[in-house]
Structures are given as structure tokens and as C-alpha cells.
Amino acid sequence: MAATGAGRLNALFLNVTALFCCACPVIVIAQQAEDAVTPDDSTRAVSSTVERLADRIPLVIAHRGASGYLPEHTTESAAYAHALGADFIEQDVVQTKDGHLVVLHDITLNAVTDVEERFPDRGRKGRHYVFDLTLAEVRSLRVRERHQSAESRRFPAGSGEFQVSTLEEHIQLIQGLNRSTGTDRGLYVEIKKPAEHRSHGLDPSKAVLSLLKKYGYESRDDNVWIQCFDAHEIARIRTELACQLPLVQLYGREPTEEQLQAAGKIVDAVGIPVSAVLTGVRDGGPQLSEVISRAHQASLVVHVWTHRDDRLPSGVENSRQLLEWLVLKGGASGIFTDHPDVVLKFRAAIQRSGPIRGPFHLLQGKPGPGSEKNRSDR
């Protein structure tokens, strides 16, 4: 696998052209996580992660790579995100039938590949699942752009020769580019549908952590985040799998106070949709929820998904306006984006006006992360 990965990476260089759905079980698991990590250790994990990234607000997370410009999750998209200067490059991870970790947003292949043409008889109820195919079979597919319309500025459908990549190839690519360019771009790995994987005899969380350790990612200060929508799995990763890496609990909608307090015992950050922060626009101004302030009170930083320069929320005039509302008024400390260069330009502009006072600046003097009160609570 390593030799194959190196060959594909060489070719690339040459051709650089959800939710807490069951409250009681989660509370039990959260208590286990709290018992497994001492208060001092838990505070230190959050503090070191936050401190290391405090001068980069908003943190720029390349959503599925530079997916606004190239087909999502391809090595080409990851390479371009690195070149644009993203702080972190996202990898959604799914396992194949033979246990290989591949970088895909869905557990099915229909939306972004030609699987229906290549393997018409391998689908189930019209869907072709990654864990029904071997790595060799997945490799044979052609990847295409997901978002297409007559007005689309995205990469043309049917153009180029793109393949599904493995997580190992993405790691090799990013580490290689870090070395050759003197930079330190990070990984932002999502474990996709872990329960469905386990029903097929697969364990993506354990496989991901093993691969990350192989490449030197195992401490709370390493340049990687692990994210998942499954609250039970996040707790398992922290406790049973003894993961010390920064963890992110994802939500598909605005989390409740109880969910945030429970998450604060286990993870370092939460990932929430734009709509959970910006609930609407009225008379040209933003209507903002209090979710980020509540997250800060639980010692959680907030990364918001997803900024798309070509698909802005209703009522938003441009990306600059949206980012000002999310970051300066809303308090987000990280932005998932299909267009990393746009968010980087915004960050450079606001930094010229003076630095943001840390990722918890919304607390404005209230007891918060790093305070004596917080240390005793954690």
C-alpha cells in the first residue's frame, strides 16, 4: 500500500495541474470519560490546544480540501488547499470491505463516482456502499464534482482524471508538502458512521488512531483534530481507545445546554452548522443565537461549517459579511470552508485591525476556560 501511495503522490506532484440521541447512555459514557481523565489533565488538554492556535482566529479548515475548486477529497484538492494556506485540511474517512481507510464524505459512492456504471450489480436498493467494495475496486472508480448546475463555478463535471484516495496518501501528501514548503498544515479527520461500520465487522476509529500514530500523531499537541457526529463513539475514542488528540463533537443543529455541558467533559471543540449561529437576517442585520457563548462557558471552542463563497445563506450579501457575523459578532474560532483563500483573506484583513482576544473572547471577563473555577469544575 505504501509503494502504491508513493507512486500516486509522485504522479500528483508531476501533474499538479448526530447528535446526543440517547441522553442517559451518553451521560454514563461522559462520566466514564470524566473519571478516566483527571481534572488537571482535562484542563491542560483544552488549554494547550487552544493556546497553540490562539493567534489564528478564525482557524481556516479546508472542507474536503479546496473543494470549491477541485473535486472533494481528492489528493489534488488537498494539495491545492495546502498551497492556498489552509491551517487544517479535512479528511472524512470510510473503510472499504478489506479494511482500508479511504477519504470520502459518504459511506456510499453514488454521488461522486461512476460506481453505477462500473459495478451496476453491486448496489443495495440503488446505493453502492464503500464497505461492500475492496480498495482495488474503489480505486477503479472515477471521481467527479458533486455540486453541478448551469450557474456553477465549480470544477466541470466529467473533466480530469481523479481517483478515490486513502487516508495514508493524504497524510503522506500533507507531511511531504509541510517538509518541502517549510509549513505545518494539519489534519482534520472525521470518523464517518462508526456504528454502521461495526455492523460490517469494521472499526474505523481504531484504524484511524493506529494510522495516525504510525505517522507521529498521538499527543494532545499534535497538529490534528478528530471529529465525529456520534457522541457514543467520541466518548469511546477518549476512554476505551485512550486517545489524547484534540476531539470535536459534531452537531447537525444547535446543541442544547445539556449537550454542551456533557461534551465539555470529553472533547475540546464542537462543530456546528452556520444556521445554528446565524439564525436569520432581518433589516440587513444578523440574528445570532447564544450557542457559541454557551459553548465557551463549557470550555469548548467552536468551529462552524460550512462557508461556501458561491452558496451563501439567504440574506447574506457576501463572504466578508458572513464571516464578520460568524467570527467577530458570533464568536466562532474556526471556519470550515470550500474556499480557504477567501477566509484567509478575511483573517488577514481583521488581523491588521488588531488581534482577536483569544477563542473565548465572548466571555468578556466572565469565569471561563483556564480560570480557577473552571479548573475545579473540570
Q: Which are the catalytic amino acids?
A: 63, 105
Q: Find the helix or strand (DSSP H, E) in which 194 lies.
A: helix 194-198
Residue 145 backbone phi and psi in degrees, to 5: -65, 135
* Burial (0-12, 13-18, 19+ Cβ within 10 Å), 21: exposed
Cell triple for 111: 454521488
In one letter, which amino acid is 102? Answer: V
**What end-to-end distance do the CA atoms of the chain give, in Å?**
43
Rounded CA Rg of the chain: 20
Only one residue has cell 470549491, namely 68
Contact 229, 18 (CB under 8 A): yes
Place of cell 467570527: 327
Residue 267 in grid coordinates:
472533547
Task: Identify the DSSP state of 329.
Answer: I
306: cis peptide before it, omega within 30°?
Answer: yes
φ, ψ dihedrals at 89, nearest 5°: -120, 125
**Which residue intervals of 266-329 are DSSP H helices?**
274-277, 291-297, 319-323
To which residue does cell 459514557 refer?
A: 29
The residue assigned the cell 453514488 is: 110
Q: Which residues contact 54 (CB under 8 A, 6 or more apart)?
A: 358, 359
